[in-house]
Structure 1
Amino acid sequence: MPLAGVRVRPATAGDAYRLADIVLAATEDQGRLPAMSLEERAEWREGFAEWSRRTAELADPANALSVITAEKNAGTPDGEVIGRLRVVRDAGGLRLAGLQLVPEAQGRGIGTSIVRDLQERAAHEGVPLLLGVEKDNPRARRLYERLGFRKTGEANGEDLLRWPT
């Protein structure tokens, strides 16, 4: 169960630019955003938003793109979009293919809560939960290792992790 006031809902085409902005902000906050000109950044944002829009419109349960929201106050049931979640289902099980939170929402237990929910879902379905974490992302690695993920290999500059081991 996610933290009080935090919700995960399917992404819509209208969320596309906000999701791109979340990925940019989270990656930049981690010091992992490659140097880009303003033009290159705008081009990346446009491409990511277009991919997000197409993915949301397909609404494929095997490639679920979601937004993470947090209530601004008690009177706002569907509050501010603070994160992005992508979960892929394939023959290998469930794969956490993306979890990003805006910097202001990090360190509050939101990511932990979401990953634990995915672990419960994987356990209930009797499948592993898999993910790839970039080698230059120590904060994410610490989260996943704390939650019981273990390295099983490497591919494309990422360490491949699995739960349960």
Structure 2
Amino acid sequence: MLGSRGKIDFRIITDQDKGFLFDVYASTREWEFQYTSWPKAERQLFLKSQYEAQDKTYKMRYLGAIYRIIQLDGVDIGRLILDRQDQQLLIIDFAILPQYQGRGIGSDILKSLINEAYGGKVPVRLHVNQNNTSAIQFYSRHGFKKTGVNGLHFAMEWKGDFSAREF
């Protein structure tokens, strides 16, 4: 995918990517520690256990999911986990490192996923932490609506107009 910000690619995740994937995961949780006094070592241990639990849960729950590293001009900048199902396109995880956010990269990728879903006449669904206001705003700007609450997460959905059109 060639965006206005550079060449966006996706590559298969390998065992050598574990450290990078942990860094991406940790960057998505950084906002949670703004008001804590946890020492860095304790935070790292906590995040490591949370990352491993999440990874195990995803692999057990989403057997058909695809896992990809997002690259910009050959540099690893994030991860995308999708589950393409007959009735929906489920974004399980979509994260870009903070230093690459705000450049439209995430928007380019999300628009591509929305186009894919529109072509297949299926909604795009995801869950986002209720306290992650920047992610909620990001998805809302792209037409996602809150459809429910699941624990600490909002369920969100983009749904196109799939009704027949007259010409």
Q: 2:113 aligned with 1:118, yes or no?
A: yes
Tell me the equivalent position of 2:165: none
**Gaps (5+ residues) in structure 1?**
72-78
SS of the counterpart of 2:48?
helix
Give the count of matched residue pairs.
Answer: 154
**Gaps (5+ residues) in structure 2?**
161-167
Q: Distance in 1 between the 2:157 and 2:110 partners?
A: 12
Structure of greater Rg: 2
Select the residue among 81, 85, 100 that pairs with 1:86: 81
Decide whether aligned partners of structure 1 residues 68 and 61 sit closer, same or farther in structure 2, where only a CA change above 3 A counts. farther
Tell me the equivalent position of 2:14: 12
TM-score (norm 1): 0.78
TM-score (norm 2): 0.78
Q: 2:154 aligned with 1:159, yes or no?
A: yes
Q: Distance in 1 between the 2:10 and 2:63 partners?
A: 14
Letter in 1 for 2:48: R
CA RMSD in angstroms comes to 2.8
Tell me the equivalent position of 1:32: 32
The list of structure 1 runs, each at least 4 consecutive aligned residues, that deviate by more than 6 angstroms after superposition, is: none
Tell me the equivalent position of 1:48: 51
Assess if the C-alpha contact under 8 Å between 2:69 and 2:80 holds in 1: yes
Q: 2:140 aligned with 1:145, yes or no?
A: yes
* Post-superposition offset of 1:51: 6.7
Assess if the C-alpha contact under 8 Å between 1:16 and 1:52 holds in 2: no
